[in-house]
Amino acid sequence: MTRRAASGHRVTLTRGGLLAAGAALVLAAAGCGTGEDSTTNAAASGKASTAEGGTLRWAINANASWDPVTSAAGNEVRHLGLVYAALTSIDEQGRPQPGLATKWAFSKKGTVLTFTLRPGVTFTDGAKLDAEAVKTNLDRAQQQKGSVLTQLLANVKKTKVVDASTVELDLSQADYGLPLVLGGKAGMQVSPKAIAAGVQNLPTKPVGAGPFRLTKFVPDASSTLVRNPGYWDAKEIHLDGVDLQYLNDPQAVLAGLQSGSIDLASSTGSQVAASKRAGLQVEQLPSLSAASIEINDAIKPFDNKKLTEAINYAIDRKALIRTQNGGIGEPSYQPFPKGYVGYSPEVADLYPYDPDKAKQLVKEAGFPNGVTIPITYFDAQGYKGLTEQLQAQLAAVGIKSKLSTLPLAQAAERVYVKHDVAFNPNGIVGRESPLQMLDVQYGKDGLLNPGRKASPELTTAIADAAKLPLDDPKYPAAIQAVTARAAKESAVAFLYTTPTVLVHTSKVSGIRPYIVGTRLEGVRLGG
């Protein structure tokens, strides 16, 4: 099947549903589909509810910032997407579609990317979306001190205003993944009036042009949002508002769902069985998320490659999946799931469980009597159990550990900014572009690269892959080659894929399987 993308490039889908352009997952992939473990909701069954209105009460993790420029946690894209609209819109399969820009095109050499903006769009404070507003946003994303978006826009030399509705990005080299990247935080547009009033206000008082407007934010407790009738795609928003309830205790969430004080909860595989026993509906959806261990190889003893290899061989990933994620997910050694364009078969079984080999590598690393390492885990639900199971598996091969906790509120600064945490059970939530994910995780300046190390060969491979149009036949192989090289070089240990799990009451319908992150387009409240 072939379709024409908004960028003008041809996009081809194979029989399996894989987008050769690099942004789709086979929705029917094992463990990620909408089979027996998933509820068939009204939208999926073709019997969409006609209900309009109501406020959705959603139990979700707390977000530290409402400013896309300073929001370091990948999973905060779900929160930000409620308030902000981006230049492009990422569809269920991860393909770039029109958003605040109705179309875009690359120059012949790929070094100029031109966007045509949607007419008549205003921010919730009345400011107009025009080319100057987009330039203000992109310049801020690149230049503001502490911006987490700088790396994503590294190839943008200059943003030019052609006219009120046309923006031109001059690139230092071809970067055909930018329409994907600009469908996420990097492309989210903040009101220029709010920026001028002081960017220090944006983390708690965001002003966007997205589907909802924030009216109240209580850090670590809740957020209240109301529908934005001026949203460009308002026809897809059927809710009057959203109450985000920041809850980490699964028992409290389950009780809230049963009592009706919560309508929807972002959950985990480990909670699926209990949720079903309680008579709740469970959605298991495709995802780019994965559990991992952020190992900082700039801190001793993790600068020893043999030791980090020993850690990988010592981990029984299937046992982790059974215990920590309710049997949901697949062992993983890379950021991508099977079926996704970035997935490399070459490293599909890079570190099979082999405790004997792990013991030998510990000795070869210079620790004949074993070694003791620090493990720092977040003081949030789920991390303690995972950490303790990892601790036991590592101890079995001579790698003992000392545990310490880190408040989740400090995670972004300590792990992703200061990079002073040596060994941290963690996870990724994926990115809009596979190359973006590889660069963020493995690039020399990657936000998620703990030790900030990358070989010249890997750096070159990432840059070369960015020069290939998404529909170039060479693109999948180039991306997969980067994945394989990065997985072999990096000290980061991937553990298993984590499909999106949403638990909800029978009142909720219309949930769509967005692969990049949960969105509320199409969601309704009835009953």
Q: Give the residue-averaged pLDDT of 264-280.
A: 92
pLDDT at 31: 30
Alpha-carbon separation of residue 374 from 185, 215, 417, 422 (angstroms): 33, 42, 19, 7
Q: What is the pLDDT of residues 213-233, one digit of tens each?
A: 999 999 999 999 999 999 999
Query: How much is the pLDDT for 382?
Result: 81
Predicted confidence band of residue 25 (pLDDT cuts 50, 70, 90):
very low
Higher pLDDT, 243 or 417: 243
At 183, list the tokens: 């469908």
Closest CA to 151 of 421, 483, 416: 416
Neighbours of 244 (CB within 10 A): 24
On the CB side of 470, CA atoms within 13 Å amount to: 34
Amino acid at 322: R
Q: What is the pLDDT of residue 515?
A: 86
The total number of residues shown for the chain amounts to 527
Residue 157 predicted with pLDDT over 70 = yes
Weakest mean pLDDT among 48-52, 303-307, 310-314:
48-52
Q: Cβ distance 41 to 283 under 8 Å?
A: yes
Which structural domains are found in the chain, ordered by start?
A: 31-61+211-287+500-527 (3.40.190.10), 63-204 (3.90.76.10), 290-497 (3.10.105.10)
Of 455, 205, 152, 127, which is closest to residue 305 (Cα–Cα)? 455
473 CB-contact burial (10 Å; exposed 0-12 / middle 13-18 / buried 19+): exposed
* Residues above pLDDT 70, as percent of the chain: 90
In which band, very low, low, confident or very high, does the pLDDT at 249 lie, cut at 50, 70 and 90?
A: confident
In this structure, what is the dihedral angle of CA atoms 417, 422, 427, 431, given to the nearest 10 degrees? 40
Summarised one tens digit per residue, pLDDT across range 362-411 is: 999 999 999 999 999 998 878 999 999 999 999 999 999 999 999 987 88
57, pLDDT greater than 70: yes
Asked if the model's pLDDT at residue 8 lies above 70, the reply is no
| Spatial separation of the C-alpha atoms in residues 62 and 516, rounded to whole Å | 19
Confidence of residue 19 (pLDDT cuts 50, 70, 90): very low
Share of the chain above pLDDT 90, in %: 78
What residues contact residue 455 under an 8 Å CB cut-off, 6+ apart?
A: 485, 489
The reported pLDDT for the residue numbered 206 is 98
Please indicate, yes or no, whether the overall pTM of this predicted structure exceeds 0.85.
no
Beta bridge partners, 170, equal 112, 158
Residue 389's contacts (CB-CB under 8 Å, 6 or more residues apart) are 319, 320, 323, 324
Q: Is the pLDDT of residue 34 over 90?
A: no
Which pLDDT score is estimated for 6? Answer: 37
pLDDT top residue among 250 and 392: 392
Neighbours of 517 (CB within 10 A): 23
Type and span of the H or E element at 116 = strand 112-117
User: What is the token pair recorded at 93?
Assistant: 């399969």
Picking from 449, 426, 421, the residue whose alpha carbon sits closest to that of residue 437 is: 449
Average confidence (pLDDT) over 105-126: 97
At residue 32, φ and ψ (nearest 5 deg) are -125, 5
The residue ranking higher by pLDDT, 338 or 26, is 338
State how far Cα 456 lies from the chain centre. 26
Q: How far is CA 100 from CA 86, 103, 213, 270, in A?
A: 6, 9, 17, 38
Note the Cα 239 to chain centre separation in Å: 24
